[in-house]
Amino acid sequence: MLTDKKIVLGVTGGIASYKACVLTSKLTQKGAHVRVIMTESATKFVTPLTFQALSRNPVYFDTFDEKDPQKIAHIDLADWADMIIIAPATANVISKLAIGIADDMLTTTLLATKAPVYIAPAMNVHMYEHPAIVKQMKQLENWGYHFIEPGAGHLACGWVGKGRLEEPETIIEVIEDHLTEKQILKGKKVLVSAGPTREIIDPVRFLSNRSSGKMGFALAKAAADFGANVTLITGPVHEHIHHPNIKRVDIISAEDMYNVIHKHYPTQDIVIKAAAVADYRPKIVHEEKMKKQSGELTLEMVRTQDILQSLGEKKKDQFLVGFAAETTNVIENGLKKLKAKNLNAIVVNDVSEQGAGFAGDTNKVTYINRDEHLENIPLATKQNVAKHILRRIKRDLEDEIT
């Protein structure tokens, strides 16, 4: 899997940099070509010569040490790499990358590369849990960086907790798994809808719901990571995404969403409707701001079109997946929707449960396919739940084709 892969290994200044030596050796033994970039602090822990001997390549640590006058080293390395691994990644390098600082050989290469980047953090447990670091890691994850979570145990600083650099064998395993899985949706066109819709009352008011778009964005990212060409159609959300395989289309109302989805629908292989679409909109959209009056106000509402239903009616070869947010009779209601809307699968969640549903970063769902086979996906980050859902879709898609 790693034979002839061109890997840049970024080593930053932490006690765990000794494990990066083992990682270099193992990657090289697997046939990868490894070039190591060290930060200045890393050179205080391990000498560049160690990495040079293990990788059998020159080691880079000074942006201005241009080894070949024909090339600019950090751009050359950024373009050369099939992937970049940062292990150990300190709080410092994570933060610098998240805000775009490029002040040494490693960070300049990281900003210049288009290759996938795997980050294996190692730091004190309290640093790892600091809101600044949590925020930067999340930001990087949203931009498509891959994290290899640190293990828990005795840390060099004396504390016991999460922050220990994952073992080199496990880092390699994660990357190999990722490479195997990376292509499972290659060539497939996937459409994901995400977020809430806004139904306009007047120029300053609208009706909406609590959907954050996080689940839909996680699905779009996971599908793109699996090699699909993704169209992400989203209502107004605070999420950001930056991935070469994702085309984002922003919409406001249920009607906009209906029109954009139907425009893209005929060419799609998989359609996942994670959006929380309004079922009603105000009958009249006031052009001027409504003035308050004495007494009660009644807003007359009319039904929006059920987009999923309309997709089910027009379905040809698309694998159509709905979502259902329920608070009672979760499975039963999910199954009803699966049949009524002519879906291939439905993902149901009980939004009243702890850790599930809107706004949070975790979810807990049940995936039900056409054969009424139920698969419980336990509480996990929305990113992991998304991967799980897509693996299931891939399997069902293959079963339906064969």
- Residues contributing to the site for ligand CTP (CB under 6 A): 254, 273, 275, 277, 279, 304, 306-308, 322-325, 337
Q: What is the DSSP letter of 60?
A: B
Closest CB to ligand CTP among 76 and 306?
306
CB 12 within 8 A of CB 106: yes
Least Cβ distance, residue 20 to ligand CTP (angstroms) = 45
Least Cβ distance, residue 238 to ligand CTP (angstroms) = 19
- Maximum alpha-carbon separation in the chain: 83
- Amino acid type, 44: K
CB 114 within 8 A of CB 82: no
Closest CB to ligand CTP among 332 and 400?
332
Query: Which residue's structure tokens are 């897509």?
Result: 390
Distance between CA atoms of residues 17 and 150, nearest Å: 14
Closest CB to ligand CTP among 170 and 333?
333
DSSP string, 345-387: EEEEEETTSTT-SSSSSEEEEEEEETT--EEEEEEEEHHHHHH
> For residue 28, which phi and psi values (nearest 5 degrees)?
-65, -45
Q: Which of 152, 157, 160, 340 is catalytic?
A: 157
Least Cβ distance, residue 307 to ligand CTP (angstroms) = 3
Q: Is 21 a catalytic residue?
A: no
Closest CB to ligand CTP among 28 and 209?
209
C-alpha neighbours within 13 Å on the C-beta side of residue 102:
11
Distance between CA atoms of residues 279 and 308, nearest Å: 12
Q: 309 burial class (0-12, 13-18, 19+ CB within 10 angstroms)? A: middle
Least Cβ distance, residue 56 to ligand CTP (angstroms) = 53
Name the nearest CA neighbour of 302 among 378, 401, 207, 399: 207
Least Cβ distance, residue 325 to ligand CTP (angstroms) = 5
Angle, vertex CA 234, rays to CA 317 and CA 188, nearest 5 = 30
> For residue 295, which phi and psi values (nearest 5 degrees)?
85, -170
Closest CB to ligand CTP among 148 and 257?
257
Least Cβ distance, residue 235 to ligand CTP (angstroms) = 10
Closest CB to ligand CTP among 96 and 341?
341
Residues tagged active-site: 157
